[in-house]
């Protein structure tokens, strides 16, 4: 039904105008011919389809008759003619929707329109279509459809034409029913009405039926819930139903035959209304059926409201009229304004990222808070899938799709996890994903609200750590300083033992430097409170991850070799650099490898995977060990937390601090660490994520200096349940020119003390059974002779001010922190020399 106009020259414009006028004349002539056609209904319907196809120049025209829940192809022309008699379900089709709404609808592209029955469209070659309902006595009885093989072929003018044909069909249906009833009455009353001619009988019955039809029409209009008014070409009111009375306040007899604008149009707009009607009648400007306009309207009480008018041009008994359905859209306008205010409010929120998603998870709206948190502008985010904000590791198991499914099923999903910004950095996000259901309760979209909770998460961790920090420091100091004590003793022995061998001297210096380095690490770890609060200082440089991996594997190989385990390194070969402290990074990765070894069986394999992931370096340690239960996954990085109680597995000791330290080191480097496991017996995977950096740089290390002294010979008793520590200390004291003996528990210490009273006792505090505090109490009870007081020095891994005060109160003369430096040991021995 489109007319293509060319606009290159004035002559062509004139020609196009003539063509358009000829087209409208042809259309109105055809319409008038059909309106006065007296064919039977079936033949009339076929003539309608043939005429429509010819006049509109479309592929097919179809009349679908409604029979229950099915549509019957009762008349068709063109490509659809072969399908006359075919039945299709009303549900799932554009025709069915048209019947439900009693409204003409347009499909611009059947391949993308979810409202159409695509199989039926393909069968008749429908690419675009327009459908309109044939309404008779307030119900839809048929659907009139035009089909085109071109995309987006139809417009509003086509709806106007279809509505006019639908009115003709409805009139023909009425006439057909009347004719059928007339024939029935003639047959039944043939013998009774012999004195009347057939022509008189038909006229009387026809007029009666026509009057009934007019009454039914008026009844339908009066009982409609939508205000209906109509006017003639002069603007005078023709029809006015009860709904119009309720809306405007005027009764039908008060307005019929009078100027319609005087009753429903505010005075300031009436001249414009009349001028528009005059212009339309003169030129046919913007002629179309079902034209919708919004304008202020007037009630009888003088109040105004916003109305939407659906205006159609109709012909009745050869006269042109204008039918209007009027809707009060005040509430709709208010809702629209409320939606706009809500949009402005959402856009003004900067602490929350708020975005709307369609049912497939693609972004449809993006507020300023989302821009601030994620870094994407609305132009960059809209149209992209929500998976854009998940980490690459979450993509592998389709976490984004899983969240959408759960939100659709439960209505809401809430969780905290790592999300990714535009620049590749990650932050701890609190996410609420809520489904927006349609009328059927199915999810038609989602709203996603995200808040950056990184600061809160760190604060909570700091608060949890601080509650246990004092206990942590005491336990950590003892656990880590004990193994360093015999090493320090051995180094001190090597310093005292003269040697001219350059290799021996160099080896001793290497051990001394590395021991000093380890001691420094222990001191830093004892300041775990500073680590948790972010006050620890990193010595950062550009580090090659390959170096970190090699040093970590080298440090962990003895542990793994003892258990017959293998470490397999999977790396791409390309250099990967990060800005960080190499000692801390080796410490973190070494903890992960040792953790994997501890919880894996003998002869198993530990895999170390290294590679780039977006803007980060991923270092993942995977084992074949015991695995982690789902309940424990969320707490494995918490301080002092272990999945099983102490002693449950004798070969799996420790304080539960290793993974906490790994997390602290990762976050200090701008990364994070996460744990995953398939469950008990299915192994574990720990992933360390660090931001990528540029080219490498170099660094340096520093050493330590030894010291030594001597004193007169003393009898020294060394008490320590760590045999290496006790034996090495005994050897060191002997090399200083004294006589030393060792005891390995509290009872043995007391026996040795009673057998031969020493001048000096170096006493470990933390021993099984009888502690160092129990031992000194017994020793002080027996050491009551004046001038014969024994010097007792506490030898422990605990070195806080509170620990020193406690040993002083218990009667200790000195407090030595493991590993004991040679000058400190000499100071205690010198103290004993002065006392004796």
- The DSSP result for 284-309, as a single string, is -TT--TTEEEEEEEE-TTS-EEEEEE
**661/465 Cα distance (integer angstroms):** 12
Expressed in percent and rounded to 5, the helix, strand and coil fractions of the chain are 45, 25, 30
pLDDT greater at residue 512 or residue 223: 512
Q: Alpha carbon 719 to chain centroid distance?
A: 61
151 contacts 186 by C-beta, under 8 angstroms? no
Contact 691, 671 (CB under 8 A): yes
- For the domain spanning 10-179, the CATH number is 3.30.450.40
CATH of 224-328, one of 3.30.43.10, 3.30.910.10, 3.30.450.20, 3.40.190.10: 3.30.450.20
Q: pLDDT digit string (tens) for 424-458? A: 888 888 899 988 877 666 667 898 889 888 888 87
Q: Burial code of 70-85, b = ≥16 C-beta within 10 A, e = fewer? A: ebbbbbbbbbbbeebe
Contact yes or no for 721/744 (Cβ under 8 A): yes
pTM strictly above 0.75: no
Using the predicted structure, report yes or no on whether residue 286 has a pLDDT greater than 60: no
Nearest C-alpha neighbor of 772 from the set 747, 754, 805, 790: 747
Q: Determine contact, residues 773/810, Cβ cutoff 8 Å.
A: yes
Return the pLDDT at 32. 62
Q: Give the angle subtended at the CA of 773 by the CAs of 768 and 778, to the nearest 5°.
A: 105
User: What residues have CB less than 8 Å from 96, skipping those under 6 apart?
Assistant: 71, 89, 90
Q: Is the peptide bond before 251 cis (omega within 30 degrees of 0)?
A: no
User: Hey, where are the domains in the chain?
Assistant: 10-179, 224-328, 333-452, 541-691, 715-835
Q: DSSP characters for 753-797?
A: HHHS--SEEEEES--SSS-HHHHHHHHHHH--STT-PPEEEEEES
For residue 756, report the phi and psi dihedrals to the nearest 5 degrees.
-150, 110
Give me the residues paired with residue 316 across strands: 319
pLDDT bracket for residue 7 (50, 70, 90): very low
231 burial level (CB within 10 Å; 0-12, 13-18, 19+):
buried
The three-class DSSP label of residue 502 is helix
The CATH architecture of the domain made up of 541-691 is: 2-Layer Sandwich (3.30)
SS3 assignment, position 250: coil
CA-CA-CA-CA torsion sign (779, 784, 785, 791)? positive
More confident residue, 31 or 167: 167
Say what the pLDDT of residue 787 is.
Answer: 47
Q: What is the pLDDT of residues 565-574, one digit of tens each?
A: 999 999 877 8
**715-835, superfamily in CATH?**
Response regulator (3.40.50.2300)
- The pLDDT value given to residue 662: 85
Class of residue 270 by CB neighbours under 10 A (exposed 0-12, middle 13-18, buried 19+) = middle
- Full strand arrangement of the beta sheet holding 672-677: 566-571, 605-613, 616-622, 684-691, 672-677
Alpha carbon distance 55, 671 (integer Å)? 71
- The Cα–Cα gap between 608 and 620 comes to 6
Evaluate whether 781 touches 790 at the Cβ level (below 8 Å).
no
Cβ distance 689 to 671 under 8 Å? yes
Q: Is the pLDDT of residue 149 over 70?
A: yes
Model confidence over 376-429: pLDDT tens digits? 988 888 999 988 888 888 877 788 888 888 888 888 888 888 888 888 888 888
Token pair for 117: 């029955």
Q: Where does residue 192 rank: exposed (0-12), middle (13-18), buried (19+ CB within 10 A)? A: exposed
Whether 333-452 shares its CATH topology with 715-835 is answered no
Evaluate if residue 678 carries a pLDDT over 60: yes
The pLDDT of residue 703? 37
Q: Report the 10 Å Cβ neighbour count for 798.
A: 23
Contact 254, 260 (CB under 8 A): no
* pLDDT, tens digit, 9 for 90 and up, residues 790-807: 899 999 877 766 788 899
Residue 190 has pLDDT above 70, yes or no: no
CA-to-CA distance for 803 and 471, rounded, in angstroms?
12
**How high is the pLDDT of residue 442?**
65
413 strand-pairing partners: 433
β-sheet with 87-89: strand ranges across: 87-89, 70-78, 60-67, 139-148, 128-136, 105-107
User: Which token pair is 10?
Assistant: 């004035």
Residue 532 has pLDDT above 60, yes or no: no
Quote the mean pLDDT of the chain. 79
- Please say if the pLDDT value at position 475 is more than 80: no
pLDDT confidence of residue 650? 47
**Chain Cα centroid distance, residue 603:** 42
pLDDT of 688 over the 90 cut: yes
Spatial distance between the Cα atoms of 164 and 758, rounded to a whole number of angstroms: 122
For residue 701, is pLDDT > 50? no
N-to-C CA span, the chain: 123
Contacts of 758 (CB under 8 A, 6+ apart): 714, 715, 716, 717, 741, 752, 790
Identify the residue whose tokens are 């770890």.
Answer: 525
Can you name the CATH fold of 333-452? Answer: Beta-Lactamase (3.30.450)
CA distances to 258, 289, 621, 677, 802 from 236, rounded to whole Å, are 5, 19, 87, 81, 102
């Amino acid at each position: 039904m489109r007319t293509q106009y060319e606009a290159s020259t004035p002559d062509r414009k004139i020609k196009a105008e003539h063509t358009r006028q000829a087209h409208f004349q042809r259309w109105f002539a055809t319409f008038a011919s059909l309106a006065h056609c007296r064919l039977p209904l079936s033949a009339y319907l076929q003539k309608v389809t043939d005429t429509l196809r010819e006049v509109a120049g479309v592929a097919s025209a179809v009349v679908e008759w409604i029979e229950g829940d099915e549509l019957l192809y009762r008349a068709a022309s063109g490509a659809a003619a072969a399908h006359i008699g075919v039945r299709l379900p009303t549900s799932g089709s554009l025709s069915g929707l048209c019947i439900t709404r009693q409204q003409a609808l347009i499909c611009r592209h059947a391949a993308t329109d979810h409202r159409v029955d695509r199989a039926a469209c393909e069968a008749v070659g429908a690419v675009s279509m327009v459908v309109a309902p044939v309404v008779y006595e307030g119900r839809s009885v048929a659907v009139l459809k035009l089909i085109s093989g071109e995309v987006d072929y139809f417009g509003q003018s086509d709806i106007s034409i279809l509505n006019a044909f639908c009115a003709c069909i409805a009139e023909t249906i009425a006439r057909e029913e009347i004719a059928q009833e007339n024939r029935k009455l003639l047959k039944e009353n043939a013998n009774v009405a012999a004195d009347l001619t057939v022509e008189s009988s038909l006229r009387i019955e026809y007029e009666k039926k026509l009057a009934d039809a007019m009454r039914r029409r008026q009844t339908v209009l009066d009982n409609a819930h939508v205000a209906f008014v109509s006017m003639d070409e002069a603007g005078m009111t023709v029809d006015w139903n009860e709904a119009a009375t309720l809306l405007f306040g005027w009764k039908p007899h008060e307005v019929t035959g009078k100027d319609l604008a005087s009753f429903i149009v505010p005075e300031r707009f009436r001249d414009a209304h009349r001028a528009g009607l005059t212009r339309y009648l003169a030129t046919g400007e913007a002629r179309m059926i079902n034209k919708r306009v919004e304008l202020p309207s007037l009630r009888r009480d003088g109040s105004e409201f916003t109305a939407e008018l659906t205006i159609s041009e109709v012909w009745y008994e050869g006269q042109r009229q204008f039918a209007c359905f009027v809707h009060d859209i005040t509430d709709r306008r208010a809702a629209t304004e409320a939606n706009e205010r809500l949009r402005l409010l959402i856009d003004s929120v900067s602490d929350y990222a708020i975005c709307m998603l369609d049912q497939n998870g693609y972004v449809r709206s993006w507020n300023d808070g989302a821009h601030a948190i994620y870094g994407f502008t609305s132009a960059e985010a809209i149209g992209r899938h929500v998976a854009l904000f998940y980490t690459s590791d979450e993509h592998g198991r389709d976490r984004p799709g899983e969240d959408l499914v759960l939100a659709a099923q439960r209505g809401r999903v809430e969780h905290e996890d790592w999300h990714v910004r535009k620049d590749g950095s990650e932050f701890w996000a609190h996410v609420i994903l809520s489904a927006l259901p349609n009328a059927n309760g199915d999810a038609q979209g989602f709203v996603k609200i995200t808040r950056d909770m990184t600061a809160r998460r760190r604060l909570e961790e700091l608060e949890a750590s601080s509650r246990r920090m004092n206990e942590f420091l005491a336990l950590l100091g003892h656990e880590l300083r004990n193994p360093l004590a015999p090493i320090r003793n051995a180094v001190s022995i090597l310093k005292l033992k003269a040697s001219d061998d350059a290799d021996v001297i160099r080896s001793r210096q290497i051990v001394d430097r590395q021991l000093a380095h380890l001691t420094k690490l222990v001191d830093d770890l004892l300041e775990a409170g500073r680590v948790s609060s972010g006050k620890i200082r990193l010595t950062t440089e550009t580090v090659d991850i390959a170096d970190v991996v090699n040093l970590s594997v080298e440090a962990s190989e003895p542990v793994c070799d003892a258990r017959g385990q293998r470490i397999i390194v999977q790396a791409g070969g390309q250099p990967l650099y990060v800005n960080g402290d190499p000692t801390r990074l080796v410490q973190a990765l070494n903890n992960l490898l040792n953790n994997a070894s501890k919880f894996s069986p003998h002869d198993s394999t530990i895999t170390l995977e290294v590679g780039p992931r977006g803007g980060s370096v991923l270092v993942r340690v995977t084992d074949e060990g015991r695995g982690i239960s789902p309940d424990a996954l969320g707490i494995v990085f918490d301080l002092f937390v272990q999945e099983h109680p102490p002693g449950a597995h004798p070969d799996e000791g420790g304080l539960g601090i290793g993974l906490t330290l790994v997390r602290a080191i990762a976050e200090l480097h701008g990364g994070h660490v996460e744990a995953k496991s398939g469950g008990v017996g299915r192994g574990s995977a720990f992933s360390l994520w660090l931001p990528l950096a540029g080219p490498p740089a170099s660094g340096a290390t520093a050493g330590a200096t030894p010291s030594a002294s001597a004193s007169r010979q003393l009898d020294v008793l060394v008490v320590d349940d760590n045999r290496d520590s006790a034996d090495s200390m005994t050897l060191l004291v002997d090399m200083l020119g004294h006589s030393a003996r060792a005891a390995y528990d509290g009872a043995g210490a007391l026996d040795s003390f009673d057998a031969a009273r020493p001048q000096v006792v170096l006493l470990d505090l933390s021993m099984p059974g009888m502690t160092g505090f129990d031992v000194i109490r017994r020793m002080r009870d027996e050491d009551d002779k004046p001038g014969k007081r024994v010097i007792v020095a506490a030898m422990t891994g605990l070195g806080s001010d509170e620990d020193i005060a406690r040993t002083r109160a218990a009667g200790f003369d000195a407090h030595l922190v493991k590993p004991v430096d040679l000058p400190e040991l000499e100071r205690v021995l010198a103290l004993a020399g002065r006392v004796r």
